[in-house]
Amino acid sequence: MIISGDIGGTKCNLAAYSDHSGALKLVFKQRYATRDFSSFEQLIETFAQQALPSVPNRTVTAAGFGVPGTVVDGRLHAAHIPWVLDAVSLAARLKLPRERVVLMNDLVATARGLQRLAPEDILYLNRGVDHPQDNIAVIAAGTGLGEAVLYWDGHGHRAAPSEGGSADFAPRSDREIAFLTFLKHRLSRVSCEELFSGRGFRPIHEFLAPDIRHASFAAAAAESAQEITQNALTGGCPACAETLEFWTDAFGAESGNLALRVLAYGGVYLAGGIAVKILPLLQKSSFCTAFADKGPLAPILQNIPIAVVLNEDAPILGAAYAALSAIR
């Protein structure tokens, strides 16, 4: 049995797979709230107690986990996870050799999982022109902002991590410049993640409509994302709808920046929870226009395929197959 997981600051999706000659078959999957566990080891033990009775062969042969942050020498360095994750201690807890426990950046896991998805798991915002032997970029907005690249090496795609979410936010218009100034009064530094994550919705709303407050505004900024999104989808609050329009336009521009930096002519994939939750608005938004608004290079970016990853299991699949590679 192979255990894999997509570990996030809000939720953790874990799965158990059986190995059938190199093809993995899902036998058990469960979602957990990150805040409900004091350690990653406690989470794994809870999952194992629930999963193992469902698995004919209860021996864990390998494990792979996609985690938000940078993995250096088998140890996670992250801001959104309340635990310490270390491959050596995990291997000891799972009674596995160290090399059979794979910790990887969650966007790398997502990127690796793209190749395992079915056509119905992808929805195109821009079909573009296929270039299967070019680089592919993945950007995911959720609790944080993650970015990764699938580089074409001449024979296939290799996934590489990025900490692009920590890059500086680059405003394009007078209104975005004013918003940056607005944020600078609150933050010493404004990274892309401050906007393009769940906690970015409320400051945009407060900037656009300072006199309108909602019930969730008394909680942490990230708690307001759901209420603002719901109001925008139902048309219950014009300021919420304007907030989503501002966000998707700026997110489109940042996604286009990523495409330029890595020459992602093979496509840009939007993963993470936010894109799926606001999909009806995203499809009608200026995302693709902002994505391609790059001066002389606009015609090239207009031809880049842009797709939303609908299947949340992409990082779980990527981590599971990385674990499978560790035993082959």
pLDDT digits 0-9 by tens, 242-274:
999 999 999 999 999 999 999 999 999 999 999
Residues 130 and 213 placed together within one structural domain of the fold: yes
Q: Is the pLDDT of residue 85 over 70?
A: yes
Q: How far apart are CA 295 and CA 308, in angstroms?
A: 25
Residues 133 and 270 placed together within one structural domain of the fold: yes
Angle at 205 between CA 199 and CA 208, to 5 degrees: 145
Residues 267 and 285 placed together within one structural domain of the fold: yes
> At how many degrees (to 10) do helices 174-184 and 201-208 cross?
110
Q: Is the pLDDT of residue 308 over 80?
A: yes
- The residue behind tokens 């309340």 is 82
Residues 160 and 306 placed together within one structural domain of the fold: yes
Question: Tokens at residue 28, please?
Answer: 């058990």
Residues 219 and 305 placed together within one structural domain of the fold: yes
The helix/strand/coil state of 144 is coil
Total domain count for the chain? 2
Residue 40's pLDDT is 87
Q: How confident is the model at residue 221 (pLDDT cuts 50, 70, 90)?
A: confident
Structural domain boundaries enclosing 161: 119-310
Q: 1-36 b/e with 16+ CB inside 10 Å = b?
A: bbbbbbbbbebbbbbbbbbeeeebeebbbeebebee
For the chain, the residue count is: 328
Residues 148 and 29 placed together within one structural domain of the fold: no
Residue 55's pLDDT is 63
Residue 151's pLDDT is 96
Residue 256 C-beta-side C-alpha neighbours within 13 Å? 26
Residue 53's pLDDT is 74
Residues 77 and 125 placed together within one structural domain of the fold: no
- The residue behind tokens 């603002």 is 228
Q: Is the pLDDT of residue 57 over 70?
A: no
Cα–Cα distances in angstroms (integers) from residue 179 to residues 99, 174, 282, 296, in the given order: 47, 9, 21, 27
